Amino acid sequence: MSLVEDLVISYRTLAEEGVIDAYGHVSVRSETNPNRYLMARQIAPELVTEDDILEFDLDSNPIDPKGRKFYNERYIHGEIFKARPEIVAVVHNHAPAVVPFSCTTRSPLKPIYHMSAFIGLGVPNWDIREAEKGSDMLVRNPHLGRSLAKKLAKHPAVLMRGHGFCAVGGSIPEAVFRAYYAQLNADLQQRAIALGGRVTYLEDEEARLYDETNRGVMGRPWSLWKAKFAPKE
Amino acid sequence: MSLVEDLVISYRTLAEEGVIDAYGHVSVRSETNPNRYLMARQIAPELVTEDDILEFDLDSNPIDPKGRKFYNERYIHGEIFKARPEIVAVVHNHAPAVVPFSCTTRSPLKPIYHMSAFIGLGVPNWDIREAEKGSDMLVRNPHLGRSLAKKLAKHPAVLMRGHGFCAVGGSIPEAVFRAYYAQLNADLQQRAIALGGRVTYLEDEEARLYDETNRGVMGRPWSLWKAKFAPKE
Amino acid sequence: MSLVEDLVISYRTLAEEGVIDAYGHVSVRSETNPNRYLMARQIAPELVTEDDILEFDLDSNPIDPKGRKFYNERYIHGEIFKARPEIVAVVHNHAPAVVPFSCTTRSPLKPIYHMSAFIGLGVPNWDIREAEKGSDMLVRNPHLGRSLAKKLAKHPAVLMRGHGFCAVGGSIPEAVFRAYYAQLNADLQQRAIALGGRVTYLEDEEARLYDETNRGVMGRPWSLWKAKFAPKE
Amino acid sequence: MSLVEDLVISYRTLAEEGVIDAYGHVSVRSETNPNRYLMARQIAPELVTEDDILEFDLDSNPIDPKGRKFYNERYIHGEIFKARPEIVAVVHNHAPAVVPFSCTTRSPLKPIYHMSAFIGLGVPNWDIREAEKGSDMLVRNPHLGRSLAKKLAKHPAVLMRGHGFCAVGGSIPEAVFRAYYAQLNADLQQRAIALGGRVTYLEDEEARLYDETNRGVMGRPWSLWKAKFAPKE
């Protein structure tokens, strides 16, 4: 299965699993040229097909625009690919369970169970006002993309205040897995906080070790998602 | 695609997305006569077809009743169209996530993320007791419709205490978008409040700017909803 | 459409709408003999067909057992039909949103929006320990059924501590409507309480008037449910 | 229907009912050799077919590996079967409603309604740190499996801190029933706590008696699940 096919499946999977609605996007670094990435044209994720995938340079200019419109926020992807050469895939979403953690002064996202251990590697919260006051909240230029990428730094994901989330990974399945399990972690953490009492989160060492283990088992949901959500011919 | 087709899609979309159940309605101002509007006969939204759409004057009298029954609350629509000449579409619903915000003394609906920025333009809370004591809660006459329209004033939406919500827009997609994202905002705001701490809402300028931006991108969910929910021939 | 067909639709509707899972049952008084009622044999609601409907006397003995097994809790239905001659239909369920209101000392179920106005007529909370200590929680004999019916008294519904809910009505659609909107009310009330502040419930007069109005409009969800959930031939 | 068919249905049922996602597994003791058990190879539960079922000894070694990969955590099953000769089936899952109860110092899982009465028999909370510090959270060897089985002791289920849940039973339907109703109980208990006030749980005698009664009625959901989720030929 080609990278383009996997990319199409990632859009559909995140939509079917409720991580994204009509907004949100996934990108993957080109296999043949590390200074380019692939992403869909401006379209709702559930409708993406291979024909909608375009190639961009790391300044987020389309190599061949084919008369299409592009996501306003493609700079999220280009600037992260520039800043993090080892990263292969980026997911941007507005997952409902996650967004509230970007908007409170009191509850940072923390790893509450093993499947979401990567959160223990740190998930900073970016506020667009760090880069621009009085914006329309969108990462619509390289300057804003760079500010976000700087906040992400070496972490596996970053919250965006009043907006959403970005997860990165060494492969499409890893980035999609992280977006999916960030949402579940947020839901579990919300519930645990509501129960009252002190919440026990994963220890740093537990989080670090499971995140390694996970690379060996994250193929399981990916196989399921491919079986369920790959476009039927 | 005609206005009637779009209206049918709006009923089905709001039902499929859980914004309305067997109750709730959408109207659109006539393209040919600004003193008339189109709305379904008394029927559950999921079942609406083009044949169910009737025309009303702004006093909410049907132009040709065709022997049908009408929604008791059609005055919501007629009186808003009278008071707001620039408004093209009105959605009335009882969205579960939204109603609680109409019933508490402490938590007004506020814009918690960019997709719901229009809430930052103000969403007043109308109590039918302002217009009539000891009612059956329904906006069943012009007097009550005018009271609601007056509370709505120049805002994009209005809460109705112990009842529901109305969203208005310059087009069917905009009104439907606002009804859909009001529900999501309510859910996110509820979650953020439960996390404890101080909640950061959108600044007025952020809300105003995104609401403008949104006019350029709200076609994306609308295209998805048309693809998924348009009646199959 | 016959009463038996409506009864089958009520089982399937409550299952499809998440009010009941594999447990729960609906009964209707016979049209030809007010001292008899119809109910399904012991079977999961989603699987009920016309062939599963049996007739019972008001002591909950089957008229013709046809070699079938019966719900242990059929006495709920028989004893309510005895005590309330005007009642035509009874729904018993374990709706997840409702049960918690039967288990706390602090939050009685109250009417939070117009669709659930009937709750304003009073929903008492029955504890089986009022009738029997150290039971297995089931209403498995006439004595327990009578105790429950006595608690219900003239109200439209009754909570059962640590167990579930019963709604009654003058028709199958009314009892099903009440079971459905009790669940929604519980969910909205739970959310409103969590927002903090004082919650505004319907006034007694508002609740009484809307409950009357509702008899004229509750056909709308019923038409939808028939269209969606009637067994296909 | 054979034991293997029932086992396949249990995987699919738990996935369809949201108790497990791409992770989680079910095992059953062999009918012909009590020192062996059956379980799927490493695969997402929704995709399991009869061909994926393998046999293991109680040390969790496959009798005939058939070139397949196995669940890392199969020791959960083997060690419980060793320690509890009367147990026939084991379910391991990460049910979202349940996990938070494993992570707080204040809210043990308690039986809030009759369907979940088995929780009244006791559900201890196992922390992997009791057996190993700085682990990757997985029960990946016999030592960890024995520690978990020891914590489970004579109870019907055990929580796993920051990880999940195990339910055991005298048959596949009983273990699946317990996993399903643990999730519902957790959701109801969470809601009841959020309502404020004192929560009334089942008395010990009520829990004990209903758990006995339940053996006579748990066939009802099982019949439904078989009807809905058995693989179509």
In order, the DSSP letters of B112-175 are -SGGGGGGGG---EE-GGGT-TT--S---SHHHHHHHHHHHTTSSEEEETTTEEEEEESSHHHH
Looking at residue B1, what is its pLDDT? 61
**Nearest to residue C167, comparing CAs of C225, C211, C206?**
C211
**Residues whose CB falls within 8 Å of the CB of residue D198, separated by 6 or more in sequence, listed in order:** C104, C105, C106
How sure is the predictor about B231, in pLDDT bands with cuts at 50, 70 and 90? confident
Chain A residues touching chain B at CB-CB below 8 Å: 21-23, 42-44, 46-47, 72, 94, 96-97, 99-101, 103-107, 134-138, 161-164, 190, 193-194
β-partners of residue D90 are: D27, D168
With beta carbons less than 8 A apart as the criterion, state whether D92 and D81 touch.
no
3-state secondary structure of A138: coil
Provide mean pLDDT across the span C89-98: 98
Average pLDDT over all residues of chain A: 97
Summarize pLDDT for A212-221 with one digit per residue, the tens.
999 999 999 9
In order, the DSSP letters of D121-171 are G---EE-GGGT-TT--S---SHHHHHHHHHHHTTSSEEEETTTEEEEEESS
Summarize pLDDT for C218-230 with one digit per residue, the tens.
999 999 999 999 9
To test the contact with chain B by mutation, choose from C224, C225, C228 the residue with the greatest count of B C-beta atoms within 10 A, namely C224
Looking at residue A105, what is its pLDDT? 83
Q: Distance between CA D102 and CA D107 in Å, rounded?
A: 9
Looking at residue C105, what is its pLDDT? 83
Q: Distance between CA C126 and CA C104 in Å, rounded?
A: 12
How sure is the predictor about A1, in pLDDT bands with cuts at 50, 70 and 90? low
Looking at residue A46, what is its pLDDT? 96
For residue B233, pLDDT over 90 is answered with no
Q: Distance between CA B90 and CA B82 in Å, rounded?
A: 12
For residue B223, pLDDT over 70 is answered with yes
**ipTM score:** 0.96
Pure H helices in chain A: 3-16, 74-83, 142-152, 172-195, 204-217, 219-229
- Which segments of chain D have a pLDDT < 70? 1, 233
How sure is the predictor about A127, in pLDDT bands with cuts at 50, 70 and 90? very high
Summarize pLDDT for B212-221 with one digit per residue, the tens.
999 999 999 9
3-state secondary structure of B87: coil
Tell me which chains share at least 3 CB pairs under 8 Å with chain A.
B, D
Q: Distance between CA B196 and CA B179 in Å, rounded?
A: 27
Q: Is C16 a catalytic residue?
A: no
Amino acid letter, residue C211: D
Backbone angles phi, psi at A166, to 5 degrees: -130, 135
Pairing of strands A157-160, A125-126: parallel
Tell me which chains share at least 3 CB pairs under 8 Å with chain C.
B, D
Provide mean pLDDT across the span A102-121: 95
Q: Residue D96 is nearest to which of A187, A194, A198, comparing CB atoms?
A: A187
With beta carbons less than 8 A apart as the criterion, state whether B37 and B77 touch.
yes
Q: Distance between CA C18 and CA A211 in Å, rounded?
A: 37
Q: Residue D106 is nearest to which of A191, A197, A223, comparing CB atoms?
A: A197
Looking at residue D105, what is its pLDDT? 83
Cβ distance of C113 and B97 shorter than 8 Å:
no
Summarize pLDDT for D144-195 with one digit per residue, the tens.
999 999 999 999 999 999 999 999 999 999 999 999 999 999 999 999 999 9
Summarize pLDDT for B71-107 with one digit per residue, the tens.
999 999 999 999 999 999 999 999 999 999 999 988 8
Q: Distance between CA A139 and CA A156 in Å, rounded?
A: 19
Looking at residue C72, what is its pLDDT? 97
Looking at residue C1, what is its pLDDT? 61
Summarize pLDDT for A51-71 with one digit per residue, the tens.
999 999 999 999 999 999 999
Instruction: Please give the residue of chain D at the shortest CA–CA distance from A207.
Output: D136
Chain A residues touching chain D at CB-CB below 8 Å: 112-115, 117, 184, 187-188, 191-192, 194-203, 205-206, 209-210, 212-213, 217, 220-221, 223-224, 227-228
How sure is the predictor about A233, in pLDDT bands with cuts at 50, 70 and 90? low
Looking at residue B106, what is its pLDDT? 82
Q: Residue D135 is nearest to which of A188, A191, A206, comparing CB atoms?
A: A206
Q: Distance between CA B192 and CA C29 in Å, rounded?
A: 48
Amino acid letter, residue B127: D
Strands (E), chain C: 25-29, 36-40, 53-57, 89-93, 125-126, 157-160, 164-169
For residue A132, pLDDT over 80 is answered with yes
In order, the DSSP letters of B9-54 are HHHHHHHHTTS-SSS-EEEEE-SS-TTEEEEE-SS-GGG--GGGEE
Cβ distance of D103 and A115 shorter than 8 Å:
no
A103: DSSP letter: S
Q: Distance between CA A27 and CA A4 in Å, rounded?
A: 10
